[in-house]
Every structure is written in C-alpha cells, then in structure tokens.
Homo-oligomer: A and B are copies of this chain.
Amino acid sequence: MVDQPLWEQIGSSFVQHYYQMFDSDRSQLGSIYIDASCLTWEGQQYQGKRAIVEKLASLPFQKIAHSITAQDHQPTPDSCILSMVVGQLKADEDPIMGFHQSFILKNINDAWVCTNDMFRLAIHNFG
C-alpha cells in the first residue's frame, strides 16, 4: 500500500478533529453524527445525534484532555473507513487513564460523518 492513502488522511483528520472538539466543547459534537449513528459508551448504547450528544455532554467532568498513542485506519468494502484509536485521557484531577475507541466514517452528501462509535476505558482490562 502507498504512503498516506486517502482513507488514512480522512481517518486521521477525523480523529484529530473529534478529540480537539471533545476536549474544547463536546456539546458541539452533534455535527459529526447522523440520526442513524450508534454510540456504545462503556457498554451503554445510544442511537441518534441527539441521544449521543446528550450522553457526551452529561459526562461528569469539566475538563478533559485526550492524547493519542496509536491510530489505525482501513477502507471497508462499502466505501466507509474504520478507525481504531488507542490513547490516554485525563479528566479533571483524576489519574490518567487508557482508553480505546473505534469509529466507522461514511461519506454522505459529500461530508464524512460518524455512523458508529464505541468507547471503552482501558482501566477495566487491568483492574
């Protein structure tokens, strides 16, 4: 495969945009989801832009900062992009925690939106 294929550029731009927006004002994240989007957050399921943003906005911390350890991107047979992110986050004054998150991105009307989003803290895997 060639260096920096298109799906890699799109996936990494999305990932950068997502965490920048999450860390600065996560209530604005509705712009990346559609009504068919699914979020599974620590095993809890939410569907649709409104339910997803309500969940994200209601998370019980004021400040959060993500840092990305590794990210992988692949094209799917249906012309979507699968992205998997491994990283660390610091919420308020809590200790730094590992997390992993997977996204599917789909091009709809010339814009890339997130149709699927799964998030887990890594802490459960080492508790």
Contacts and interface: CB of A to CB of B under 8 A. Distances in A.
A contact residues, range: 20 to 34
A76 B115 contact: yes
Interface string A11-52: 000000000000000000000000010101001010100000
A125 B69 contact: yes
Interface in A99-120: 100, 102, 104, 106, 115-116, 118, 120
Q: Taking the full assembly, how many copies of this chain does it contain?
A: 2
Contacts of A87: 125
B100 A38 contact: no
Given A38-B74, A87-B125, A104-B104, 9 more contacts: A40-B84, A70-B120, A74-B118, A77-B115, A84-B100, A86-B120, A86-B122, A86-B125, A122-B126
